[in-house]
Structure 1
Amino acid sequence: MLPRLLTSALLFSFVAFASAVPNIRILIEGDDYCNDQSILRIRQMIKEAKTLAQSAIDTLYRPNVEKSSGFVALFGPNANPKDIADKHFAPVNILPDSPAFVVTVKRLTENDLTFTCPPYGDPKDNKARMSTRNWVDGDGHDQRNNLIRIFPNSFEYDVPDSKGSHKVDTLPLQKAVEAAIAKTWFDEKAVPMAFTLVHEVQHADVIIGAENHCLDVAFIDDKGKTVKAYGLQQIQKKITNEEKVKNAQNYAWFAFLTLAQPELFTDDCQGNPGPIPHAAGLQEPLLVQDGIAPRAAEDTCKYIHGDFLNIVDTDGEF
């Protein structure tokens, strides 16, 4: 059960944009339709994204979270945790667990949002997992739409084998959290769909509000190349504090780390917070499973500054 003050705050947040709650659907016909298997994965993705968002909200409403090493590393010392909770994570909860279906994206309105599933061969699908299109992105002959495009790389990825490679489903959230705790998340392609959806919501004006729209902030790397800040080290060290609160990937990482490394968000990352309660939507306690012992807080706190990078540092598109 949520604390009463938190519940009240969230209800106030929902009332603020209740009049503009979008019609959210899945495309089931046409070139970019989602098949039955994809629809099941989308439903799972939405539920898991809500788990991530709720974990983030609970953490952000914790007293003194803004003093924690994890919060400062991801959002800077001046960000307001309750604003972040209400403006960037609470809106995830307007996504229906089972969106309705639509057979075309034509003649929709600026208050409609559609999940589509472009096939292999789309120009962006070599690296991208998802992309967001906002109503304002279309002009002239270009059809105006609010879309979250889910590319094949969201659903599965290639694993090398003796015959070349075979495809494996991307990790569900529970398995990704377990892998992160065990530091065995060896492949950035295994990023759970829910992680990417939290990122895409930060781009989706019809959900987040244009005033809260986030970017994929870029920086110039050591070779003079323009690189988007996606990796955990990049979002901490390569962009400014002002850019961190505008970078969509910072929100996805924050939500994920509240489940995988909650110690990072204690006051100044000091002390052992004790047993971690079951998180909504997850089946087991997060620190002790499969024989994995909890780390001491003094060890865990350094992960966000370096060691955690061993889990994943993706430069792919989200």
Structure 2
Amino acid sequence: MTLPRLDGSRLHLPRLTESAAGGGCACKIPPGELEDLLSRSVPAFPGLLVGTGDDAAAIRVDGDRAVLSTVDFFTPVVDDARDWGRIAAANALSDVYAMGGEPVLAVNLLCWPRATLPMELAAEVLGGGAEIAAQARCPVAGGHSIDDPEPKYGMAVTGIAHPDRLLRNSSGVAGTPLSLTKPLGIGVLNTRHKATGEVFAHAVAAMVTLNAGASRAAVAAGIRCGTDVTGFGLLGHTLELARASGLTAVIDSAAVPLLDGAREAVRDGFVSGGTRRNLEWVRPHADLDAVDEATAVLLADAQTSGGLLLAGEIPGAPVVGELVPRREHLVVVR
């Protein structure tokens, strides 16, 4: 990749995705390890509605308002600096939308290798983040930066929601359909991009699309259970929702939408370590006998800025399964 200089020449730079070991939400600490890390109970505090185990923390400030707080950042998932900033911002804002809230303020988190990547490139990343935040009508006010060997970018976001209308992963009801608002396959296409340099514009378009409309539609429809699908894949986040709700989730694999090229990417071996870890974490809790390994991998694919998984129906979102009374397995894929 190159960067224009003031004198008209171009500065040749390494690809952004080559500057970090991993990329996007596939860099998350494996879910099993994270559960152990967070197994200590959260101290009780008046008004605290959600501590751990959901997409954002929530605290009631009065009868009609809860404040939501979240943070999300990661290493480059694409080589285009502005697109990376846009994706990271959309992903951070998604945690607020996944709780049924509206973002009201964001601050930047930037880790940058000053010795190897120019600050002009960092400015592009921040510009992409500001662009998406502006779409969300969420001001970005400052933040924090450090010199770091690997570039990382994201946001801490504050939001508000009605405390009685939160989308929570523990509010599922048996007999409710499960809907998914974005197709899967982001992870395997990003892995292919990192390995080959191929650009997948449709994957970028999916990642920079805000979950705002889906969130508002869900709240308006009276849906109270949901989560976003990110680094733990559809299977992992479905498992968390089913367990928190005391139910079993049945997934119809044929109904799950996929991005063009996703199956081919799995066939050609472009599967991240994060996706493999997701699948191994879910296996003991899931019945996957009805699907082949490639389908199971796609259902576990580590998404970056994925869609919402909702216990209910909204326009435009395919129904991909249902919640049923608790069975032997937390997740059943048919």
Q: Higher helix share goes to which structure?
A: 1
Q: When the two structures are superposed, what TM-score results if normalisation uses the length of structure 1? A: 0.28
Q: When the two structures are superposed, what TM-score results if normalisation uses the length of structure 2? A: 0.27
Q: Higher strand share goes to which structure?
A: 2
